[in-house]
Structure 1
Amino acid sequence: MFDLPLLTILLLTGFINLIGALAYAARIAGVRTRRIAMSFALFNILVLFSRTSNSFLGPFLAKRIETRIHDGSGLSLFLDMQFVLAAASVATLVGILLVPTGQRMFAAAIGWYQDNRSTTRLALKAVSPTGLRTLRQSLTFPSLSHLKSWKMPKGIGWGVLIANCLAQSLLAVGVVASLYAGYLAPEFRVTASQLSALINGFATILLFAFIDPQLSVMTDDAVEGKVDEADFRRAITFISLSRLAGTVLAQALLLPAAMLIAWVAVHV
């Protein structure tokens, strides 16, 4: 049976995580063009669409839980949540595979915008035959040649990768776990749905206090020539793979996180 609500949730989840994975393409494009600020400014346009999708995702997930409870099919909710996290993993993998294409597209957009300086015209050009031709020409698959030694690049250690994996897993599971906790503790459903910060807060601290500064410093070093561009791309690959591992780890964290949130909602 075709399940349109679930498909909508999966597509929104996929789009959000795809944009997140393509953030690394913006960094590479910024290094190649030596225009970091411009690359992130253009990327933020996509982030706006991602955040808009995210604002719809929560209500869709909440409605899914309410519907399951009212239909007496609440036992299927856990499987639904696993599908949501699986969609995040698949979209992240697709995003990683599209990073080379994305960085070429960002580089082309940066060059065009530098000459024309019109966001509206850039958006129109992106969907024009010329823009589609640029997309076709930019389409490429990632090469693993720069990973042949699998040597950890300077500035990125296992600690950063593990922290990023943990942060991404918590970010992926936070909202989903809080909503599923509402099913585990239905009498405190509203309270549980507001406790995603219990999980996401720690992840946000990890991400913005420890991981992003490391990656930003390495980006600046690459722009200044202190870090070889191949090493920078290798670092981005490792970071991307740790992000993917985090979305997979989220599957294992779903039930413990939901139980923790449900316990807090009931007892605190």
Structure 2
Amino acid sequence: MSIQVIIVLILTFIIYIISTLAYSVRTVAIKTGRIAISFAVFNIFALISRTANTIQAPLMAKTIENTIETGHPEDLLFIFRWILFSTTLATIIGALLMPTFIKVFSKAVDCFSIHRSIPKLLLHGFSKSGIEQFKSSVTKPKRENLAQLKNIKMMPKKIILLNIIAFSISTVGILASLYAGCLNPSLRTTCSSLSAVINGIATILMFVFIDPFISMLTDDVIKGECTEDQFNRCIIFIVGGLIVGTILAQFLLVPGAKLISYIAKLI
């Protein structure tokens, strides 16, 4: 693999860990009672994770050009499948790290309420005391949390399904557009530009259906209309949906690329 591909794999891995850990901030909002500050921190993580995928296109540009010249698109498909595998692995690791980062974010929210500055918060995080606090926050995932996945009957299935669909589209959108351009080199610019539309659809689904639902559930916990255990169970299902979404992206890659290529011909 080229250096550009290795960089994409590493950055994608980091991005999807951040994307998964962002959902632990919702639990922090319940535990600390600092809803506004917690959501501000969540929005920072969500913004990073939902826009950082755009780095894939420029970093993969040279690899795509070489693939078009050699006329072997299957080589590019192999690379893309490795990138998607890295998203699945990163999401699983992010899920396992959530108990630790719930404690870390709780301390970060308290620290933010004192410093009232994201740059100062970041500097504190990399200080000696910040590193010591991180070490003391390391926590193993509990088996009973995984056992919550058996209680799917109590969960809103439409929200879970929409979450899986939205995350799979977001994961595969840019890669499918790039692969479509490789399958149809004469329209690769049009295919690449369609990635923004695809990611826009996924983002709209998340902002219109998923995020408001979790926000309303958070309010229900604060008002006593929903227990903290029920809220945590919902977050577990949402994160589980992220993992399923990355796996689904593997199956959507080729059909999605062919659909994008077809739409590019119609435009």
What's the TM-score once normalised by structure 1's chain length?
0.91
**Partner of residue 247, structure 1:** 246
**Partner of residue 232, structure 1:** 231
**Partner of residue 132, structure 1:** 131
- Given that 2:88 and 2:247 are in contact with CA atoms closer than 8 Å, whether structure 1 keeps it comes out as yes
**Partner of residue 211, structure 1:** 210
Cα distance in structure 1, aligned partners of 2:48 and 2:263: 33
From the superposition, tell whether residues 135 and 170 of structure 1 become closer, same or farther in structure 2 (CA, over 3 Å).
same
- Given that 2:67 and 2:182 are in contact with CA atoms closer than 8 Å, whether structure 1 keeps it comes out as no
Q: Percent identity among equivalent residues?
A: 40
**Partner of residue 171, structure 2:** 172
- Given that 2:56 and 2:174 are in contact with CA atoms closer than 8 Å, whether structure 1 keeps it comes out as no
**Partner of residue 20, structure 1:** 19
Q: Compute the displacement of 1:159 (Å).
A: 1.6
From the superposition, tell whether residues 48 and 160 of structure 1 become closer, same or farther in structure 2 (CA, over 3 Å).
closer
Amino acid of the structure 2 residue aligned with 1:88: T
Number of equivalences: 266
From the superposition, tell whether residues 196 and 56 of structure 1 become closer, same or farther in structure 2 (CA, over 3 Å).
closer
Structure 2 SS opposite 1:196: helix
**Partner of residue 261, structure 1:** 260
Question: Within 5 A, what are the aligned runs for 1:1-268?
Answer: 3-47=2-46, 50=49, 53-148=52-147, 150-152=150-152, 156-268=155-267
- Given that 2:19 and 2:45 are in contact with CA atoms closer than 8 Å, whether structure 1 keeps it comes out as no
Structure 1 SS opposite 2:251: helix
What's the TM-score once normalised by structure 2's chain length?
0.91
Once the two structures are superposed, residues 167-195 of structure 1 have per-residue CA deviations (whole angstroms, 9 ceiling, x without a partner) of: 11111111110011000110011011011
- Given that 1:182 and 1:190 are in contact with CA atoms closer than 8 Å, whether structure 2 keeps it comes out as yes
Mark the runs of 5 or more structure 2 residues left unpaired by the alignment.
none
Cα distance in structure 1, aligned partners of 2:145 and 2:186: 54
RMSD, aligned α-carbons: 2.1
Cα distance in structure 2, aligned partners of 1:264 and 1:104: 46
From the superposition, tell whether residues 153 and 109 of structure 1 become closer, same or farther in structure 2 (CA, over 3 Å).
farther
Q: Which of 107-116 and 243-252 deviates more?
A: 107-116
